[in-house]
Amino acid sequence: MLAKRPPMGWNSWNTFAENISEQLIFEMADAMVEKGYLAAGYEYLVIDDCWAKMERDENGRLAADPEKFPHGMKAVADYVHSKGLKFGMYSCAGIRTCAGYPSSYDHEFIDAQTFADWGVDFLKYDFCNFPAVGNCRARYHRMSMALKATGREILFSACNWGVEEPWKWMRAIGAHMYRSTGDIVDNYKSFKDIAISQIDNLCMSGPGSFNDPDMLIVGMYGKGHVGFGGCSDLEYRTHFALWCLFGVPLMMGGDIRSLTPQSEALLKNPALIAIDQDEECRAPYLVDSREDRYLFIRHLSGGEFVLAYFNFNDEPARSWRFSGCFDDIGLPYDCGYGLHLTDVFTGEDLGVKRDAFYPSIEPHGCQMYRARLEKI
């Protein structure tokens, strides 16, 4: 099965948009390996929009822009594969891509075969310039069938921005991950609003098909194509912790050649990645929300849990502002059990807590605890 767990990788769009080239992709492949991102689990390197010539070739096939990719896409795929990575590309369900390049509407089978011939392992499939008379579900199903017809395993990343509630049908048509929101940009409000919008839909995500709330903005600091304001290190930590708690794809969008040590360490944090990649792929359960403060519990494999507290408010969250009562997570006081908590960020053993736990959390921050049941 493809995508037994949430896919992880890097995508060119957030930072570079149209400013991509063969050399850039080679350097990113090198960086993913040399800086330890591949070892941390990030295996897909994906080229987004703006890679193609403005018209198809004489055989009706998509062709790479020879100025950006002088050796062609097969050579790029071969280089990426030589590094032990998997290679991803981009097309669109509409007449033209979002940036106006040739797209796959009515060309699904020939395009899928072209990608397979080049050695593509991942297809991001966008939704721009889609005909008003078109059938969204049917067109995504058609590309799913076209990819399977090639005989090559190609992860299908369906990116229709949440149109027609894709969490209700994308798994059924064969998508391995599906965009459920509009585009993320590099600021706190963007990732906060996206996260809150998907809380009720995450339960439909699981092995083989994952809700995709868009790419990571960690480490961009207001630079690049979607660098609209940037975030603080604390806010990037909250963003990454949310995506890992939600168990969704982790697709980096920053320039990984030159991230700050703080951003690099966050993206490779093994405790957070382990939560995202937990083998049971269960979605978190919202225990309580009030005054822009959220408490979640997530069931993990091996009988463990995650308790996660997020303060989206602009004021500090004191203990009384969180409903941290364990009765709300299925552990009443008289059950005879408590939760043995370990801080996910620091590794500190907090011992066994019974009845309730109320951390203090700064504005835009979060706290996450790995937990296991322990008899009192």
- Which ranges of the chain does DSSP label H, i.e. alpha helix? 13-16, 22-34, 37-40, 72-82, 108-118, 136-149, 188-198, 233-246, 261-267, 270-276
User: Which of 69, 67, 90 lies closest to 78, judged by CA?
Assistant: 69
E strands present in the chain: 8-11, 44-46, 86-92, 122-126, 155-158, 177-179, 210-212, 250-252, 285-290, 293-299, 304-311, 337-343, 349-353, 366-375
Which amino acid, residue 196? I
Rounded to the nearest angstrom, the gap between the alpha carbon of residue 236 and the centroid of all alpha carbons in its chain is 14
| 219 vs 207: CA distance, rounded Å | 28
Q: Hey, what are 330's tokens?
A: 């299925």
Q: Are strands 86-92 and 122-126 parallel, antiparallel or unpaired?
A: parallel
In the three-class reduction of DSSP (H, G, I as helix; E, B as strand; rest coil), residue 199 is classed as helix
Active site residue ranges: 126, 183
- Phi, psi for residue 96 in degrees, rounded to 5: -135, 155
- Asked if residue 61 lies in contact with residue 99, where contact means CB atoms within 8 angstroms, the answer is no
d(CA 146, CA 110): 8
The gap from C-alpha 63 to its chain's centroid, in whole angstroms, comes to 28
The single residue listed with the structure tokens 């998509």 is 62
Write out the two tokens for 258: 């030159």
